[in-house]
Amino acid sequence: MERANHSAAGRCSAAIVGALLLSSCALPGPKEIEARALQAGPAAGASERPAIRSAQLRAAVGDGDYAFIEEVSRIESAVARRPLIGGNRVRLLKDGPETHRAQLEAIARARHHIHLDVYLLTDDELGQRYAELLTRKARAGVKVRLIVDGLGGMGAGEAYRRRLQEAGVEIREFHSVSPLKDPRVWRMTRRNHRKILVVDGRSAFTGGINITDDYSGSPSASGSRLSGSSGGSSGSRSAHGWRDTQVGIEGPAVAEFQRLFLYWWGELGGQQQDPPKSLFPGIERSGDQYVRVVVDQGEDLLDNLLAPADGAWKSLSGKQQDEARIYASYLTAIGKARQRVWITQAYFAPNEAFVAALEDAARRGVDVRLLMPGESDVTLLMHAARSHYQRLLDAGIRLYEYQDTVLHAKTAVIDGVWSTVGSANLDYRSFILNDEANAIIIGRDFGRQMEGMFEQDLKSAKAIDPQAWSERPWTQRVKERGAAAIKWAL
């Protein structure tokens, strides 16, 4: 369902977008990223205090992994332009029922404000539960602000939004696809793909989980179901909910999510204002995890082409080289990994540099494993991912396909201490076109939970046998090549 919306947008402008992508500068490789970071230096306000890094950060990851984190963090600080913030408690939330239960409970406790930024919002049973609670809180005097994507939010129509607004909920739409609201329909190539919730400036949530009945149940037949929900929507072929991941965060890093939400809110309103201090309550240390929020602002490719300011080619090149921050964070951690690179990815259609980084890691003895969908809501992207399998298998990388239901998670854990959970896929759309947000969590305790979740997921996955894969039918190879040829438009 999510990618079906993406693909609809991509098909409308596939030829133009493809020409721009294929004729523009390539996304940088690990060495280029590191060179750029050394040249730029840490962003103002983004460098970590040495005393914290050498003591508390070392305690969070252990002496054996401190050198790895030190090196990765130095580059990320310059590339991501966001600080690494300590003192947080990060809760790993697996699948829809656990995530929506936690988010709805946080909303119910809200006393001052609720800031919700979501890609898919639908007027189904789960969407109605959010609407009911948001309207109740707004009528009780809580300030409720909602950012919804113009394409992903089409499932929450005018009646749904009017109900919210009449209760006092403020709504701002990102890139409407209605020509009556915005005649620049070519802007549909860029989407707001983030999923972020901030409540009272004290708790934040982010990850890959949308507000749709695809997430009413957990993947396993014995898994939980969100109380009050009757089942999944027609967007999934499985009777069970999609497999996905979210995180809940308490501690000083919540202020980063708050600042970013307010910046995006101001951009959509056409005016930036200094936020009141009440939106940033003093937050004491809540745990031992370090969090960096890495965000990407998508590129309006067709906007640049049709109404260029300094030239579309220059703008596109600047985006790719300087602002593909989530991509750069992944490549940095993979390039420095010494032990394990375990990635769970819903839509794996990366560029050459990313595939080469995985190969290099495997060939220097790193345990590289990729978990990808065996069932997808966008079959073409599943075939695009499979187009890389032979090359990855030849490098000694272990591949798995999840079998229970649609896999929609976008997570990774590297060396057991560097983890990421967020909205960004490993494809051109997330690298270049979409607005995305990922949380990077540094800490051994959280990394252990991530590895445990990955190992549990493998129990519901099929390992790809190298010999059997090399003997797959020619019809499968044709599908892979076809999907690989157009993966930039998916």
Q: How far is 93 from 102, CA to CA, in rounded Å?
A: 8
Q: Which of 6, 137, 408, 479 is catalytic?
A: 408
Structure token digits, residue 109: 């406790």
**Which phi and psi (to 5°) does residue 149 adopt?**
-75, 140
Q: How far is 97 from 102, CA to CA, in rounded Å?
A: 9
**Which phi and psi (to 5°) does residue 20 adopt?**
-65, -45
Q: How far is 156 from 160, CA to CA, in rounded Å?
A: 6
383 in active site: no
459 in active site: no
Q: Which of 415, 427, 435, 457 is catalytic?
A: 415
Distance of CA 33 to the CA centre of its chain: 20
Q: Which of 410, 457, 479, 487 is catalytic?
A: 410
How many other C-beta atoms can be found within 10 angstroms of the C-beta atom of residue 440?
25
Q: Which of 65, 95, 117, 200 is catalytic?
A: 200
410 in active site: yes
Which secondary-structure segment (H or E) carries 104?
helix 95-109
Q: Which of 137, 193, 336, 388 is catalytic?
A: 193
Signed CA dihedral, 450, 456, 461, 467: sign only:
positive
296 in active site: no
Buried b (16+ CB within 10 A) or exposed e, 194-216: bbbbbbbbbbbbbbbbbbbbbbb
240 in active site: no
128 Cβ contact partners less than 8 Å away, ≥ 6 residues apart: none
Structure token digits, residue 318: 């600047």
Q: How far is 486 from 378, CA to CA, in rounded Å?
A: 13
408 in active site: yes
Q: Which of 100, 137, 175, 195 is catalytic?
A: 195
Structure token digits, residue 305: 């082409």
Q: How far is 304 from 128, CA to CA, in rounded Å?
A: 38
List active site positions: 193, 195, 200, 408, 410, 415
